[in-house]
Chains A and B, each alone.
Chain A
Amino acid sequence: MLPLHSPFYVEDLERTVLQCPEPDFFSSEEPMDLYYKILSVDADIERTADVTYPASSVFITFETEEMQRRVLKEMTHPKLSKSVVDSRYKFEGLVLEITEPDEPSSIRWKDLDELESVSSPVKFDIFSCYFEETFSHILIIDTDHSTRCHLYDHVRAHCVRGCYHCSCKKQKHYMVSDFDCYFQLSHPNGSEIFDFLRVSYR
């Protein structure tokens, strides 16, 4: 905290931080530590801002519900016959996946760039691990030693895969370009990301 009655500089973060006294032994974080963290975050933002990112989802709000329904009706195609879709309904040759989204307060903006082909295996692995872990305890009560070990191995195999995916997901957000994992392999440059259009009437 700044000393009482001393001037502080809104424009100059460093000068202000330098005025702060040294914290005592029990203080959680020093102002300078916080300052360096801010610099580090700024550097990360600078670095990531230099990369070009394609759009992952587009939300369109129509003036009337009639307009929204018309678009949904005209542009919703069977999944197996996308090749026969009229070219006027395509965006740069791409058939857009059009859905009616949830309310604005319900959208999870940080997860929108995840392709379904990427997120579904993760969900499956996490769920199967969870399911087996939950129900295996019941079976273990009534099984002999070898069956129990086999069961544990099976559960562990699933859980390890699930954890690996979890780790990938976490890393994806922190280390954009360096981490070579499932997600990066699935869509290395995001070139196929823009295939989703969410149409709503608000």
Chain B
Amino acid sequence: MVVRYLTSFESHIDETSYTTSSYIKVTLLRWVNTAIVTAVISPFAYTIADGDYLIKSVRILFTAELAQRPILQLSDIAGNLKRHYFAPRAKDQRRMNLLFSTAPYSIGERYTDVTKLLFLTCFYATLFPSAWFFSAAILFVYYWVDKFCVLRVWKQGPKINGNISIYSVYFFLMCVITYAVMGTYYMAMFPFDNVCETDEVVPGDYVGVYELGTNGNAFTYVSTNSKAYKYCDQDLFRYKAAFPPFPSDQPDGSEWMSEIQLKFLPIYARSCIGIISAVGAIVAFRFFIKFALPLFSRTRYMSQGRANEEAFSDVHEIVGYIPHVTIPGHAFPFLMCDITHIDDELIGWQRDNVNGFNTLIDKSQKNRMAENPAFSQVMHWPPSDANSSPKVAQVPVPASAPELIDLAISTRKQKVKGRFSNLFSRS
């Protein structure tokens, strides 16, 4: 909701841009809240300890992902309440129709869920390998739940283009980097106990049998030959800031890495550098193509595939660019243009056969609007008209439309509508 509110202040020419902006913000927020904060607030020495610590938190996160969203999505509590409790008690047909309307399908939300899950998996997979299996199960569940909701619950949203999937590629690349970086650090910081073995043996005062834990069901024996251990800071991520971590980053005299770590950590570290470089090169190349190339190249427009030979006027399902605005409290949008001279099929929807279209233009003001077009203008020259040379639909949009519409919206939306159409119709 916060993200939606913030994004509402931005100007986006189409829903693709708006959805992408929300998607980026929501994804960052979820990455931080789900994966990063969980790691940051967990004490280092308890990273892989048994009990209510990091590993258990991660397991709970995955379990919640597996159960929580499908249950909430399928049960659709708010939707059921609206349809079965509030709708029968609605005061009129319009309000009842609105209560039967559901939220539109949002591809951005779906991508956010997937990228969040992937990030969570890549972040903890080295410590918690079963994250991959959890992840596979969750994606399987998401697929079927989303499929059900797309076909049975959600209404169709605006038809956006594939831009959002391009941004998703960057998020996926960041997940790859996360996996490489976190894997390298986890390899370096294992066993996360801040304890280093020394060459000395324990002092005689410590020799004896000790109870382990609080329930007293485990014991350990410290003999005179037992090695002594000392505190050493193994957190290379936060306090040493070594990137990428190599065995040489261990403090002198406080080495904790085993032989396996000493052997594999350099490989991990170099691989991490390689992956980051490769991702950086891919991102730089994509940015060059998107931002730098159009500055001096004519190849800004690249057609894809063969041109469709079917003419616009032959396909009745496709519609024209008709300016409209959705006003909360109304099931159908309001037109922001005079549609007298265009074919109704260009609009693409109709409220009902009797009342036709909602329009913001007062009929008595039509002549005046024609003199000074404050609202948008729509022109249509159908190809059947032999006298008209250009077979185009043209929609100039004056800058005044937002001001006028917002003036209307600024007062109570439901009531304002009456001024323009049927306040007294008592339907």
Residues of A within 8 A of B (CB): 8-10, 13, 16, 29, 34, 37-38, 40-42, 44-45, 48-66, 69, 72-73, 76-81, 100-114, 118-119, 122-123, 126-127, 130-131, 134-135, 137-138, 141-142, 165-166, 169-170, 173-174, 176, 190, 193, 198, 200-202
Contacts and interface: CB of A to CB of B under 8 A. Distances in A.
Contacts of B319: 104, 202
A107 to B, nearest CB: 5
A141 B40 contact: yes
From A51, A66, A104, name the one whose CB has the most chain B CB atoms within 10 angstroms: A104
B32 A102 contact: no
Contacts of B7: 126
18 contacts: A29-B412, A37-B411, A38-B419, A40-B411, A41-B416, A54-B398, A61-B392, A62-B312, A65-B309, A78-B294, A79-B296, A108-B12, A111-B13, A127-B24, A130-B3, A138-B36, A173-B402, A201-B308
A66 B310 CA distance: 10
A126 B22 CA distance: 12
B8 to A, nearest CB: 9
B397 A34 contact: no
Contact of A169 (B11, B28, B324, B419): B11
Cβ-closest 10 pairs across A and B: A114-B11, A103-B159, A173-B406, A59-B321, A113-B399, A166-B9, A119-B11, A53-B400, A53-B398, A102-B14
A119 B10 contact: yes
A49 B372 contact: yes
B301 A72 contact: yes
B13 A52 contact: no
Given A34-B412, A111-B402, A64 B9 contact: no
Contacts of A165: 9
Given A29-B412, A48-B407, A58 B394 contact: yes
Contact of A58 (B18, B161, B397): B397
B298 A137 contact: no
A110 B10 contact: no
Contacts of A8: 424, 426
B323 A109 contact: yes
Contacts of A123: 10-11, 21
Given A103-B158, A103-B159, 4 more contacts: A41-B411, A45-B404, A58-B396, A59-B395
Contacts of B410: 41, 174
A7 B405 CA distance: 32
Contacts of A176: 403
Contacts of A40: 411
Given A53-B398, A102-B14, A134-B29, A80 B296 contact: yes
B340 interface: no
B336 interface: yes
B107 to A, nearest CB: 12
B151 interface: no
Contacts of B12: 108, 111, 119
A142 B40 contact: yes
A131 B416 CA distance: 38
B394 A135 contact: no
Nearest to A165: B9
Interface residues of B, number: 88
B302 to A, nearest CB: 10
Nearest to A189: B399
Contacts of A201: 308, 312
Interface in B281-331: 294-298, 300-301, 303, 307-309, 311-313, 318-325
B372 A50 contact: yes
A138 B393 CA distance: 53
B115 interface: no
Contacts of A66: 307, 309
Contact of B301 (A76, A109, A169): A76
Contacts of B395: 58-60
B159 A49 contact: no
B297 A78 contact: yes
Contacts of B36: 138
B309 A64 contact: yes
A154 B401 CA distance: 37
Given A38-B415, A78-B297, A201-B308, A55 B396 contact: yes
B295 A80 contact: yes
A119 B9 CA distance: 10
A112 B28 contact: no
Contacts of B296: 78-81
B408 interface: yes
Interface string B18-42: 1001001100110010001100110
Interface string B382-396: 010000000111111
Nearest to B405: A110
A57 B294 CA distance: 21
Given A41-B407, A49-B372, A59-B321, A112 B238 contact: no
Contact of A193 (B294, B374, B399, B424): B399
B369 interface: yes
A115 to B, nearest CB: 9
Contacts of A61: 312, 320-321, 392-394
Contacts of A44: 407
Nearest to A201: B312
Given A108-B13, A122-B10, A137 B37 contact: yes
B16 interface: yes
Interface in B316-373: 318-325, 336, 348, 365, 368-369, 372-373
B28 A63 contact: no
A166 B16 CA distance: 21
A59 B29 CA distance: 36
A169 B394 contact: no
